[in-house]
Every structure is written in C-alpha cells, then in structure tokens.
Structure 1
Amino acid sequence: MEEQQSPFQAAIKPGLTIGLVSLALTFIAYFIDSSLLGSAWFGLVAIVLFFVLIIYFGKQYRSELGGFMTFGTAFNFSFVTMVISGLVGVIGQLLLFHVVDPALPGVLADQAFETQLSFMEKIGQDPDALDPAMLEEMRASSSKGFTLSGQLMGFGFSLIVYAIIALILGAILKKRDKSLDY
C-alpha cells in the first residue's frame, strides 16, 4: 500500500507550480507592458487564477487521500501551498525589481501614487488642497513597498492574508466521510 503524503509534503509541488505560474504571468506582463503590473485587473486575474489552482490541486490531494479530507488537513495544505507560492513570487519580484529592471519600482510607485490621487478625486477630495508634505509622504510610502525591506515586510503581512484565505479554502476543500457517522 502506498504511503500517503502529509499536507505539508503534498503542498510543495503545487506551491512551486503556482509560484512559477504566477512568476511567469508577472514576467509576461512586464515584457508586454510594465504598467500592467500596477493595474487592478492584472491583480484580479492573478488572484482568481491563484484560487482556481489551489482548489484544483486541493481536490487532487483529497482524491489521493481517498476522497475525504478534514478541515485541518485542507487548511494546512492550502496555507503551505500559498506560503511556498508566495516565497517563489517574492524571490522573482526581487529579481525583477533589483536585477532585471531597477527602474521599474520607481515607475510602479509613480503609477500607484497617481492611482491614489485619482481615487481621492473620485471621492470628492481635491489632492491640490492637501499639504505638500502629506503628498510627499504618500509618494514615499508608495515607493517603500518596492524596496527589499518593503517587499519582505509585505510578505510578512501576506502570511496573515494567506491564513485567512486558507480558512476559506479549507472550508471549500474539506469533505467528511458520512459513512463514519454511524
């Protein structure tokens, strides 16, 4: 009889796969038009693809377990998959932002700053009425997210988001054996 993998072991391959797919999409978008990396729809497509792939791999793992999986197993599988995928993504983004195109973080930070200003206008606030020091602080905070420390800190905050998403995915992927209820 074949030995079953733990959720941690089973999550390694899907995590690497999802991370590499995410990284490939990032580089494809970069080569098409680097401004795509800062667009909302690109982020939305990436999140949907992320969910779909985790559910797909989670269902495969559940099948390997005999068609049933507890919430805890599903949570662990989902969380570890996302952490591995996130690590691959961070490493790839560090390479993109600091080796391939060191000017890209500045372009994306400017794009994020402009997006913030246009959002302020949409909700009725005039950005020109803001204190110039506050505008400069907004610009600096936009740039900070693309630094090495900013990306590592962002990954740390992502762990909290990954845990919340893993709770949702755990609820979706779990399936109990009702024949054991009797």
Structure 2
Amino acid sequence: MEQSSKKLATSYGLYLGISFVVILALAYAFDLSLFTKWWFGIGLITFGIVLAAMATSKAKKLSSSLFSFKNAFGTYFLTIVIGTFISLVFNIILFNVIDPQAAETLTELTIETSRKMMESFGAPESQINEALQTMQDENQYSAINQLKGYAFQLIMYAVIGLIVALVIREKDTTNA
C-alpha cells in the first residue's frame, strides 16, 4: 500500500473513530436504550462502511500508480481497524470504568427486548428462560467479551471490504 494511502486511511480511521465516540456518547447521554435497537447497530455499521469506502475511493483518486485490489482492501481495512478500535476503547472505558451500572442496565434492556422477540417468534418458555439466563450470567460489556465482539466485527467488515475493494480497484489492462 502506498504511503499516501496509509496516511489517508489513518486520517479517515481517526475521523471514523471520533464519529463513533461522539455518536455513542450522545446515545449514552440521551437514551441508553438506543444501544439495544437493531437499527442503531445497522446504522453504525453502515456509517463505518460508507466512510471506509470513501477513504478507499479517495485513495484511488490520489494514487499515482495502478490502484490494485491489495491497495483498495488495505486502505478500506486500515480505516475500519483504526475507527472501530477507538470505538472499542471508548466502550470498554465507558462500561467498565466510568459507568458499570450502565452495562447492567443495558443487559436488562437487552433481556427484555430478547424476551419480546423470542415470544413473538413463538419460542417455548423453557427455551426463552434458558437463553435469557445465559445472557444474565454473561457480562456482554466486559473487556474480554467486547474484544471477542471486536474480532467478529472485524471479520464482518473484512468480508464487506473484499466486495468494496473489488468494486473500487483498477484492473490491469496491459495483460488483457
């Protein structure tokens, strides 16, 4: 990956991370239940993908040589890694240092939401109780569990990044 692409991806990654922190801090301050809404999570993921794709597209325009799949994916993924890592650090500090009570409140809200969803799908009461007990026993907001979630999140972003890189890359026409 070219040095200019790395610099651009780093800048966009910082913008993404700062944006995530601001959005999450506002959600925390105004309505903690936003963290349990599916559309809130999808919105954050979409925002990350769009910003990373913008970074990749801009890197392509600034590239002085052939913008390969490797360069496109590298720019996209570096942007995502930096942005989501900043968000991860913020979440760990928020829910484990600043306000551990918020993590407990979110767990309760998540359990309520899950119960309603499982009941609407017609799940048996025993299965619902078992799933909710598992949620109650495991602290989703512990640093270890957030790191596990981060790893899965990076895998999901990487798969999407492969598609973005395929679309944005330049094809070598000299061998055609």
Contact kept? 2:140, 2:146, Cα under 8 Å: yes
Instruction: Write the distance in 2 (CA, Å) between the matches of 1:47 and 1:92.
Output: 16
Aligned to 1:176, the other structure's residue is in SS state: coil
**AA in 2 matched with 1:165:** I
- Contact 2:68 2:169 (8 Å CA) reproduced: yes
Structure 1: how far apart are the matches of 2:132 and 2:52?
A: 39
TM-score, with length taken from structure 1: 0.84
1:55/1:132 Cα in 2 relative to 1: closer, same or farther (>3 Å)? closer
Is 1:44–2:42 an aligned residue pair? yes
Equivalent pair of 2:96/2:141 in contact (CA under 8 Å): no
Look up the match of 1:137.
134
Q: Does 1:74 align with 2:72?
A: yes
- Counterpart residue number, 1:94: 92
Shift of 1:175: 2.5
- Equivalent residue for 1:27, pick from 25, 32, 54: 25
1:161 aligns with 2:156: yes
Identity of aligned residues (%): 28
Hey, which bits of structure 1, 4+ residues long, moved more than 6 A? Answer: none
Instruction: State the alpha-carbon separation in 1 of the partners of residues 129 and 135 from structure 2.
Output: 10
Normalising by structure 2, report the TM-score.
0.87
Cα contact 1:83–1:162 (8 A) shared by 2: no
- Where in structure 1 are there 5+ consecutive unaligned residues? none
The alignment yields a C-alpha RMSD, in angstroms, of 2.2
Aligned-pair CA distance for 1:68: 5.0
Provide the rounded CA distance (Å) in 2 between the counterparts of 1:28 and 1:100. 15
SS at match of 2:100: coil
Match of 1:176 among 143, 147, 171: 171
Aligned residues: 175
Contact 2:13 2:79 in 1 (8 A): yes
In structure 2, relative to structure 1, the CA distance for the partners of 1:22 and 1:146 (3 Å cut) is: same
User: Partner letter of residue 20 of structure 1?
Assistant: I
User: In structure 2, do the counterparts of structure 1 residues 41 and 134 end up closer, same or farther at CA, with 3 Å as the change threshold?
Assistant: closer
Report if aligned partners of 1:67, 1:175 keep a CA contact under 8 Å in 2.
Answer: no
